[in-house]
Amino acid sequence: MLYDVTATITYAYAAPAIAGRTLLRLMPASVAGQRLVAGRIEAQPTPAERQDRIDFFGNAVTELTFRTPADIARFRLVARVDRTSEAPELDLSPDLARLAAELDLPGTLGPEAPHHYLGPSPRIAPDPAIAAFAAEAADGAPTTLAALTAVGRALHRTMRFDAGATTVETDPATAFAARQGVCQDFSHILIAALRSLKVPAGYVSGYLRTIPPRGGLRLQGADAMHAWVRAWCGIETGWIDYDPTNDCLVGADHIRVAVGRDYDDVAPVRGVLRSAGGQISAQEVDVVPLG
């Protein structure tokens, strides 16, 4: 499936920002099951310096430096992506005990190595309540993939999606205790749960095509940036992507942008600026299928 993807993120400042430096992770990736056909990132105001590079995890990063005072900053992605579904046809993953043995086998410590995704990360710390929940949900699962889907499904049943319940700074333990949150919270909690079972798990940011209800019109700008989880299910199966917010294996409607240990590694916009007063932000995303 070919998609045209546009994403616009706008910041309005209470007082002009005199200078700033921004890192963007907005460009769709070229990975198995997904190919970036073409893409560009535009910025307003025009940056004094720009550098496009790849970070440790293989994500495309655009680094911008601003030196002209401005009361608005706007970042816009325009891209075309060719996406195919990558759902596994067979479950060849080991059980959880054998997964630990496979992790002990010699291997690389490159970006795809599962060892980077086992321990605590900046936003995800061990939590006894999440660990107990994971152990109960995964009890009796015959394979690692079965454990992944069992814990994900249990989390989906337990949590309530509420866009106003949390903020970008909410930690997984707090969101889990409240049993509500957004895709970032669902993903962080599932990662914490899987790591407690010794399953390597990471965070994926991307775009999600949303389908209007039957008879309804597609609303421009109504699609969304999204987050889901990737879990390492053994040498034979490798990495599997799972969307806990929607209780499904990731398919052709999910477009990957960046991967990391948690949100800190993949934030779409991150930076520093010199200003006074607060700021407000707005986001619009369109994922348009071309057939």
The answer to whether residue 27 sits within a structural domain is: yes
Name the domain count of the chain.
2
Do 259 and 276 lie in one domain? The reply is no
The answer to whether residue 91 sits within a structural domain is: no
- In the prediction, which pLDDT does 34 show? 96
Q: Check residue 119 and report its DSSP letter.
A: S
- In the prediction, which pLDDT does 221 show? 41
- In the prediction, which pLDDT does 219 show? 46
pTM of the model: 0.94
Q: State which amino acid sits at residue 235.
A: I
Q: What share of the chain is helix, strand, coil (3-state, %, to 5)?
A: 20, 40, 40
Do 30 and 80 lie in one domain? The reply is yes
The answer to whether residue 144 sits within a structural domain is: yes
Do 147 and 251 lie in one domain? The reply is yes
The answer to whether residue 153 sits within a structural domain is: yes
Q: Which of 124, 286, 137 is nearest to 203 (CA)?
A: 124
186 is in which domain, residue-wise?
Answer: 96-265
Q: Which of 186, 2, 189 is nearest to 84 (CA)?
A: 2
Do 43 and 175 lie in one domain? The reply is no
Do 190 and 257 lie in one domain? The reply is yes
- In the prediction, which pLDDT does 85 show? 79
Q: Across the chain, which distance is largest between two alpha carbons, in Å? A: 60
Per-residue pLDDT tens, the chain, 291 aa: give them.
999 999 999 999 988 888 889 999 999 999 999 999 999 999 999 999 999 999 999 999 999 999 989 999 999 999 999 999 776 778 999 999 999 999 988 778 899 999 999 999 999 999 999 999 999 999 999 999 999 999 999 999 999 999 899 999 999 999 999 999 999 999 999 999 999 999 999 999 999 988 765 655 554 445 778 999 999 999 999 999 999 999 999 999 999 999 999 999 999 999 888 877 788 989 999 999 996
Classified as helix, coil or strand, 159 is: coil
- In the prediction, which pLDDT does 215 show? 55
Q: What is the CATH number of the domain that holds 174?
A: 3.10.620.30
Do 244 and 199 lie in one domain? The reply is yes
Q: What is the CATH number of the domain that holds 45?
A: 2.60.40.2250
Contact 212/274 with Cβ under 8 angstroms? Answer: no
Do 65 and 145 lie in one domain? The reply is no
Q: Count of CB atoms within 10 A of residue 245's CB?
A: 23
User: Can you read off the two tokens belonging to residue 12?
Assistant: 């309005």
Q: Could you tell me the sign of the dihedral formed by the alpha carbons of 102, 104, 107, 108, in that order?
A: positive
The answer to whether residue 163 sits within a structural domain is: yes
Do 131 and 194 lie in one domain? The reply is yes
Do 74 and 116 lie in one domain? The reply is no
Q: Which of 202, 266, 191 is nearest to 239 (CA)?
A: 202
- In the prediction, which pLDDT does 277 show? 76
Instruction: Give the H or E element holding residue 12.
Output: strand 2-17
Do 173 and 108 lie in one domain? The reply is yes
Q: Could you tell me the sign of the dihedral formed by the alpha carbons of 33, 39, 44, 46, in that order?
A: positive
Q: State which amino acid sits at residue 48.
A: A
Do 106 and 198 lie in one domain? The reply is yes
Do 75 and 6 lie in one domain? The reply is yes
